Each structure stands twice: as structure tokens, then as C-alpha cells.
Amino acid sequence: DGGITQSPKYLFRKEGQNVTLSCEQNLNHDAMYWYRQDPGQGLRLIYYSQIVNDFQKGDIAEGYSVSREKKESFPLTVTSAQKNPTAFYLCASSIGGLVNPDTQYFGPGTRLTVL
Amino acid sequence: DQQVKQNSPSLSVQEGRISILNCDYTNSMFDYFLWYKKYPAEGPTFLISISSIKDKNEDGRFTVFLNKSAKHLSLHIVPSQPGDSAVYFCAAAVQGAQKLVFGQGTRLTINP
């Protein structure tokens, strides 16, 4: 039963604390992505990774960090430098490489609330 | 600079009728377009896509139309069903770039 899992579904943190959101996929996809969704807005790309041990900044990378040590996992850390961290965070994956077109598939999301 | 725009934040349609969701884009380099459906507190689900070499793609009740000269695409759902009530996002990409650009979404409500 292949898919993308994100945990936890809801996360609460105090202001000033770093927090790490988990994303795991067993689809054997090379590429993984992190998006953020705010009310009334589309999804905005935070970071993406096309292959293990490599990742690139998206459109709103400031205040976030990622790692890609394993093909299956792409955790996102929301640091205290992120000015507006409360949002719905979505992880996605795609086959990647030279596949063309390359459709992205999404996990269920994590809602982060910073108090 | 919003490269992909969905100008209707919401749309209400009678059950059984046709739903038409619209999307405009400004970047002429985009050559691959997708529609996603999203329920509250869930991740988007891929619905249908179209490459710029086509002007229509159909999958069951869902059809996407692409008008390259107008930089416009639309998603038609017919007949509309209550389960179609969700937020619909269009997205665009330059094939091979592996980055999707999303519109703001349109909330579709199907009324019984």
C-alpha cells in the first residue's frame, strides 16, 4: 500500500522553538517537495529535493531547513527565524529524474500552530 | 507576481449540472498543467493533467481544456456530484523543471 505519510497531523509549538515535520514515502520516488498553504492562498514551494543528499530552495525557504539523507524521507524543520510559521504544511513526491511530465502526489498534511 | 491565477474564489453549482472552473497563466514557458482537488485538512489529490501539445484531455466526468493563445485552461465536471464539493487548484509547470506553480484555488460547492 504505497503512499506518502506526514506526522503528526496537528502540531502545537511555543514561539521561539524549532519544530521538525516528518514526511515519508514508499513510492520509490526520487523527488520530494515541501509546500505551505495559507488561507485563501495557493500552495507555495518551500524546498525540494531531486535526489538523496541534494536539495534546493523554493520560493519561500527563509526560516526553514531540510535534509535528504534517505530516499524515503524528507523532514522539514521550521526554525525560530520563520516569522509566520502557523500554516498547513504539505509534502509531495514525484518520480523525478528525466520523467516527463512528472506529476506530484501529496501527503495528508500537517497543521502547525505556533502559540 | 502571480503567474497562475484562479479569479473565482468560489463557485456554486446545482447537482447534476456542469461545473466549470477557470485558470489563467502568464508565463508562456509553462507547458504542463494539472488540476488538484483538496478537501479540508487533507492533502491535494491529483485529478487530471494536460500537456501543451493537446487542447483537451478527458477522464470520466472530468475534462480539461487548454487555450494556449489565451493562456487559459478550464476544468469541466459533468455531471456534478455532491462529493465534488472541495477546493480545486490548478497548477502549471515547465516540463523537466520539477517545480509546480499553483493558483489560489476555487471552492466548489455542489447543491442538492
Cell digits of residue A8: 503528526
The whole-angstrom distance between B81's CA and the closest CA on chain A is 23
Chain B residues with CB-CB distance to A100 below 8 A: 95-96
The DSSP-derived string for chain B is: --SEE---SEEEEETTS-EEEEEEE--TT--EEEEEEE-TTS--EEEEEEETT-SEEEETTEEEEEETTTTEEEEEESS--GGG-EEEEEEEE-TTS---EE---EEEEEE-
Cell digits of residue B111: 447543491
For residue B15, what pLDDT is reported? 98
For residue A1, what pLDDT is reported? 60
Task: Report how many Cβ contacts below 8 Å link chain A to chain B.
Answer: 66
| Identity at A14, one-letter amino acid code | K
Is B39 a residue whose pLDDT tops 90?
A: yes
Chain A residues with CB-CB distance to B92 below 8 A: none
Hey, of B3, B100, B104, which one would you mutate to test binding to chain A, going by the most A CBs within 10 A of its CB? B100
Q: Torsion angle, CA of B43/B4/B63/B22, rounded to 10 degrees?
A: 110
For residue B2, what pLDDT is reported? 79
Is B99 a residue whose pLDDT tops 90?
A: no
Record: contact A104-B100, CB cut-off 8 A: yes
pLDDT band, residue B96 (cuts 50/70/90)? confident
Record: contact A40-B9, CB cut-off 8 A: yes
